[in-house]
Amino acid sequence: MVEERLSNSLKVHRAALNLTQADLAELVGTTRKSINAIEAGRMVPSTFLALKLARALNLKVESIFALSAV
């Protein structure tokens, strides 16, 4: 069985819009520390938060998050 993890390109998309982690956190109603943990792969966001992040960045969730083999 192949083990998978959730990878993301949140930092790339956030930076492309010149948003700081704090800016994005405020837009979606979370903390800068949570954004940092998601970007670093230490935290998997809830479905609700993932959808809010995608909406804030004007992207589809699949453009930010993907399953990848470990």
What would the pLDDT profile of 26-70 be if each residue is shown by its tens digit?
999 999 999 999 999 999 999 999 999 999 999 999 999 999 988
Q: How far apart are CA 28 and CA 35, in angstroms?
A: 10
What pTM was computed for the model? 0.93
Grouping H, G, I as helix, E, B as strand and the rest as coil, residue 39 is helix
Query: Read out DSSP for 13-38?
Result: HHHHTT--HHHHHHHHTS-HHHHHHH
